[in-house]
Amino acid sequence: MMDRERRLGMGFLSGALGLVILLGALLSIGSVLIAGRDASLGYLPFASQSSEPSGSEAPTAVVATTTGPGVTVPPASDGPRIGLVYTASQAAILASGREDPLRSYRRAIEMHGGRVVSLLVSDPESVTNEKTRLLDGLLLPGGCDVDPELFGEDPHPRLERIDRALDSLQFFLLEFARKLRLPVLGICRGHQVINVFHGGSLYQDIPTQLVDVPPLIHRLKDDHGTHRAVHLIQIASGSEMEVLAGSSTWEVNTYHHQSVKQLGRDLRVTASSADGVVEAIEGTTDWFVLGVQFHPEKDLEHDPRCVALFARFVEAVRAHRAEEEAARARQKNRSEPPR
């Protein structure tokens, strides 16, 4: 009889312990989805495999506060916080105080009231995780080629520089943004990374792989560097791009040699060039995702549509933050005991 009672008692304790563990897991998941700032997916950095060219633009002053060792971010009261991703070499230049290699992107965000959180490939894991929890939105800028291993292909002979550490960080950030529905804007390489993250693939080199139709010039490059080129894009009806352009066509700049091949899940093509190259993609779910193959940050001075593109992105980030704050307030009101 005593053995039977002991076994029953042990069984009850085991079941109770299992229930406590299950409830703890559910509460943990809920804190990520509701609060969005109490937990992190946990970034695991990948050692840098290459160095990339940095920009040559002058820095701009940023008002900031510090939250924890090595983490400097703009105050939330100054506008929605938008993550901007720097390579290791760009981060070194930024840290030197000489210049900001991504100044044009930063300016495009700040001119609409957004505040930049600099997300550095060279940051320690703990710093990246802490910065990520503060984000309201994410901007993935232009840069080097995307590692073809990420979409199941061998490197093409014309593949240029890749940076696996950058790929790793941007995939982590996109997964975090997806789970919390943080608005995302991708430009050039960033546009391509969004597609690969969603399960799509890329042409690794347009001139040698896209040969079924007469190609346009998508990049002017010689021994002295890459030069500005332009072409028309055709814009899909009923898209964000159509609203921004105000018409069915837009003449845009072009600086790339890779492009979207197989479209990823939950995305649609909203602009293309005459040779079929995908020039813009948008999300098809409740997650605001916009990718453009051209560089709107380079044409802010003379194309108001480029200004409008960043304005729309910052507006989406601001609206999402307002929704998050309202949800947290409702959650707090429900959890407080009645007076």
Distance, CA of 32 to CA of 28 (rounded, Å)? 7
Q: And the tokens for 38?
A: 């109490």
Report d(CA 132, CA 119) in Å as an integer.
8
For residues 242 and 230, what is the distance between their CA atoms, to the nearest angstrom? 19
**By C-alpha distance, which of 270, 264, 280, 271 is closest to 233?**
271
Give dist(CA 297, CA 317) in Å, integer: 18
- Return phi, psi of residue 261, to 5°: -110, -85
Give the separation between CA 162 and CA 82, rounded to whole angstroms: 25
Angle separating helix axes 125-132 and 164-180, nearest 10 degrees? 30
Measured CA to CA, the distance from residue 339 to residue 327 in angstroms comes to 21
CA distance 83 to 204: 27
Residues labelled as active-site residues: 188, 295, 297
Chain-centroid distance of CA 232 in Å reads 26
Q: What CA–CA distance (Å, rounded) separates 317 from 315?
A: 5
| Sign of the Cα pseudo-torsion (77, 79, 84, 89, in order) | negative
The closest of 181, 182, 206, 180 to 192, measured between CA atoms, is: 206
Q: Which of 23, 28, 51 is nearest to 40 (CA)?
A: 28
